[in-house]
């Protein structure tokens, strides 16, 4: 049995340490980009792997499955989907201002359709990626670190020559923090970077003369220009973005509203959500102007067409879209990146500083490396030129030496022992030779054709070029101004080759104001048949069909078209319905089920009473439950904004039996299941709030309950039929509330 040790530790301490380790791993090694190259580890590793595989812009495409598999096996030991997703995003020009990968095949679209499987798609590097992101990797400009299993080396950062963090932006969620940086215009970013290089004390406001604001690949309009200065100073804030709208006038006074650019946050499935939101505005009758809506977007660009009815106010309708849909949206800015090994929220100036410092760092390493190479070349060239001047002596040494080492020792140290010379003069001259070891090796490997006159002239010209390079590299390394000019020249070249016109408009735009059209208030009649179908008709149609309407309707009452209908249920709920939400039509129109226009659920509750809000406000309402609880409630308590509220409080197992607004009723009669009748005056019912249980109306037997409720008025005859027997309610003796009542025997 092997020896084992049990380490006792505090659980909370172990959890804290483990979680911090995990959080830092996610923050540094997965979710956040490095401010120097603007890339997350998965992006950096994918691009480097494509570079290593030789998938250059001028070579054939390679299967994405090959790229993903190679990246996962060598550098990124995580799921293949995360690598492929990163690769896909780097190809999408609607998500990135400067796509880094050239995709061939289906890589998804702006409407949210996903890319095809990696076994079908192909990719290669973009030209700009090769020139500005991966160039100089062979010049020791960045540190290389071991990969996850220490079998390969990978760059800790790519030698990116552009502020990619600003140009392409970044989005990522880590543990306890997230980054959200909008993309910017390449030309503007280059100009801002040059301005910072000219004066490191430049203010953010001055930098924004060059970098106006975000430049989303989807275009759109940034509407809060005045807020941008604060956002770029702090690195956080909210940018309001609108889609771009055009109006197309048609024959007959009709207008099409055409959306040609969308807000950046709308890309993906939010386009279909926008279409459904517009349809929802029509269904909820927020607008009656829409005739049709169609998405005619294609590879040429976004084109969403909304056809409006004749004489519609198109500008007011667009304001409605800004207010109620994602045609105006907010992009939350949090420019968080890894800087000096730790996450930091950075303003515009801090980001530019980090990038400029990085450019000077990689330029210093690059030109130190180039200078060392040129110095080696200079040494060799000078040795060959010197050798050409004494070529006869060197040939004599080579012919007189027994082996290479003997000849090399003579060239470097002047050792002549063992070498056969033709004359003493040659031996004396050979003893004076003092080539360096590198020069001696070059001489020994020199081919005879190099002795041709033109070749010697070419060697001398090459030496002159080498000396010029050395002078240039030393100047760049010794003078910061010279190195800055080299960096600026490269930036200008990239700007000339890859910049494009700004797509996003930056402006201050007043908040959209939608003016709802005033609806002319008219009198209508609410109808609900015995099947639960509801509709409203105008009063003239009702008068023409009064007899049929009263015969066919379960509930019928006049109301205003701007008012509400109140529906009381057996479960003690009040459902409010706007009259405008009810179908308006002809008397013989079918209507719609009341379940469709309210929260009423016919499977869980029954309708007890329906009336208009106007009638309720003027009266008191009598509530009677199956367990004989009664109360009076002021109708004004039911004038609420919510679609569903509790109309009364119920005891367990109880349900509402009757809801009746008071008009001229003077008595109420409760009839139980077992045949007990109790008649008492309305004045005996206490007035309470809608949240109260009420008072007991009559005493019930153990298994008895109220079955029917009747109301009588003074001097108005009222009789009911009970088990085939007519009962005159007016002649029934009036008792007191909370009595047992009289049993009617049949």
The Cα–Cα gap between 452 and 461 comes to 14
The Cα–Cα gap between 632 and 447 comes to 118
The Cα–Cα gap between 37 and 618 comes to 72
Q: Residue 637 has what DSSP assignment?
A: G
Other CB atoms closer than 10 Å to residue 416's CB: what's the count? 21
The DSSP element (H or E) to which 229 belongs, if any, is helix 228-234
The Cα–Cα gap between 418 and 441 comes to 20
DSSP 64-108: HHHHHHHHHHHT--S-HHHHHHHHHHTT-TTT-SS--EEEES---
Query: Can you tell me which residue has the tokens 């005996």?
Result: 684
Residue 120 annotated as catalytic: yes
What residues are paired with 240 via a beta bridge? 330
- Give start and end residues of each alpha helix (H) in 390-452: 391-400, 404-413, 424-431, 437-445
Q: How many angstroms separate the first and last alpha carbons of the chain?
A: 95
Identify which of 533, 737, 544, 720 has the alpha carbon closest to the alpha carbon of residue 622.
737
Catalogue the long-range contacts made by 665-669 (C-beta closer than 8 Å, 24 or more residues apart): 665/622, 665/711, 665/712, 665/713, 666/712, 666/713, 666/714, 667/711, 667/712, 667/729, 667/734, 668/622, 668/624, 668/630, 668/697, 668/709, 668/710, 668/711, 669/709, 669/710, 669/711, 669/712, 669/729, 669/732
C-alpha distances in angstroms, 183 versus 93, 180, 259, 518?
Answer: 11, 10, 22, 43
The Cα–Cα gap between 655 and 572 comes to 7
Identify which of 75, 391, 342, 355 has the alpha carbon closest to the alpha carbon of residue 197.
355
The secondary structure of 238-267, three-state, reads EEEEECEEEEEECHHHCEEEEEEECCHHHC
The DSSP element (H or E) to which 25 belongs, if any, is helix 11-26
Other CB atoms closer than 10 Å to residue 281's CB: what's the count? 19
The Cα–Cα gap between 193 and 356 comes to 7
> Each residue of 560-591: b (16+ CB within 10 Å) or e?
ebebbbbbbbbbbbbbbbbbeebeeeebeeeb
The Cα–Cα gap between 160 and 91 comes to 18
Other CB atoms closer than 10 Å to residue 124's CB: what's the count? 23
Hey, is 509 helix, strand or coil? Answer: coil
CB 238 within 8 A of CB 230: no
Hey, is 400 helix, strand or coil? Answer: helix
Q: Which one from 11, 57, 120, 133 is the annotated catalytic residue?
A: 120
- Catalytic positions, please? 120
């Amino acid at each position: 049995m092997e020896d084992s040790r049990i380490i006792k530790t505090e659980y909370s301490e172990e959890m804290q340490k483990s979680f911090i380790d995990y959080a830092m791993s996610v923050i540094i090694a997965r979710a956040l980009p490095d401010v120097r190259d603007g890339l997350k580890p998965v992006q950096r590793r994918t691009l480097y792997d494509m570079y290593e595989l030789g998938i250059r812009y001028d070579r054939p495409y390679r299967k994405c499955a090959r790229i993903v598999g190679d990246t996962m096996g060598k550098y990124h030991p995580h799921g293949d989907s995360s690598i492929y997703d990163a690769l896909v995003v780097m190809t999408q020009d609607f998500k990135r201002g400067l796509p880094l990968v050239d995709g061939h095949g289906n890589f998804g679209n702006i409407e949210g359709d996903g890319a095809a499987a990696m076994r079908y798609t192909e990719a290669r590097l973009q030209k700009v990626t090769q020139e500005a992101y991966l160039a100089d990797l062979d010049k020791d400009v960045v540190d290389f670190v071991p990969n996850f299993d220490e079998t390969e080396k990978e760059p800790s950062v790519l030698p990116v020559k552009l502020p990619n963090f600003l140009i392409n932006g970044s989005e990522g969620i880590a543990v306890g923090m997230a980054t959200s940086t909008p993309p910017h215009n390449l030309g503007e970013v280059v100009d801002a970077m040059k301005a910072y290089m000219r004066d490191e004390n430049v203010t953010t406001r001055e930098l924004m003369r060059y970098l106006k604001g975000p430049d989303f690949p989807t275009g759109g309009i940034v509407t809060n220009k005045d807020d941008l200065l604060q956002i770029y100073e702090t690195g956080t804030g909210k940018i309001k973005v609108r889609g771009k709208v055009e109006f197309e006038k048609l024959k007959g006074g009709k207008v099409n509203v055409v959306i040609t650019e969308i807000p950046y946050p709308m890309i993906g499935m939010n386009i279909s959500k926008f279409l459904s939101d517009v349809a929802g505005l029509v269904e909820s009758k927020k607008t009656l102007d829409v005739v049709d809506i169609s998405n005619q977007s294609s590879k040429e660009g976004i084109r969403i067409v909304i056809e409006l009815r004749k004489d519609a106010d198109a500008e007011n309708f667009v304001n409605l879209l800004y207010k109620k849909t994602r045609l105006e949206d907010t992009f939350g800015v949090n420019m968080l990146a890894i800087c000096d090994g730790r996450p930091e929220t950075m303003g515009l100036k801090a980001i530019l500083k980090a990038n400029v410092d990085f450019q000077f760092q990689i330029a210093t390493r690059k030109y130190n490396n180039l200078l060392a190479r040129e110095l080696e070349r200079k040494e060799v060239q000078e040795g060959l030129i010197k050798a050409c001047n004494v070529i006869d002596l060197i040939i004599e040494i080579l012919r007189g030496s027994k082996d290479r080492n003997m000849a090399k020792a003579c060239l470097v140290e002047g050792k002549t022992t063992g070498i056969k010379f033709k004359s003493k003069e040659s031996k004396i001259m050979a003893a004076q030779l003092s080539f360096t070891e590198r020069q001696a090796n070059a001489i020994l490997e020199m081919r005879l054709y190099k002795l041709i006159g033109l070749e010697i002239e070419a060697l001398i010209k090459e030496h002159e070029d080498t000396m010029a390079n050395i002078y240039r590299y030393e100047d760049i390394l010794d003078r910061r101004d010279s190195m800055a000019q080299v960096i600026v020249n490269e930036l200008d070249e990239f700007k000339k080759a890859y910049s494009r016109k700004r797509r996003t408009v930056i402006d201050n735009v007043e908040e959209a104001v939608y003016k709802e059209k005033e609806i002319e208030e008219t009198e209508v009649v609410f109808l609900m048949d015995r099947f639960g179908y509801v509709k409203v008709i105008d009063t003239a149609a009702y008068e023409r069909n009064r007899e049929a309407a009263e015969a066919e309707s379960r509930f019928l009452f006049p109301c205003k078209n701007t008012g509400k209908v109140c529906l009381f249920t057996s479960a003690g709920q009040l459902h409010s319905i706007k009259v405008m939400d009810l179908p308006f039509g002809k008397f013989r129109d079918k209507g719609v089920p009341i379940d469709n226009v309210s929260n009423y659920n016919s499977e869980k509750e029954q309708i007890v009473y329906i009336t208009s809000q106007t009638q309720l406000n003027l009266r008191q309402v009598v509530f009677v439950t199956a367990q004989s609880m009664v109360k009076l409630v002021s109708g004004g308590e039911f004038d609420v904004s919510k679609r569903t509220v509790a109309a009364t409080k119920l005891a367990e197992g109880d349900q509402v039996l009757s809801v009746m607004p008071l008009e001229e009723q003077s008595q109420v009669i409760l009839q139980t299941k077992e045949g007990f009748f109790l008649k008492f005056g309305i004045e005996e019912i206490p007035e309470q709030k809608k949240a109260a249980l009420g008072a007991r109306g009559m005493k019930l037997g153990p298994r008895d309950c109220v079955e029917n409720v009747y109301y009588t008025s003074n001097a108005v005859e009222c009789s009911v039929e009970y088990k085939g027997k007519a009962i005159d309610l007016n002649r029934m003796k009036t008792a007191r509330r909370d009595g047992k009542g009289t049993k009617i025997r049949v």
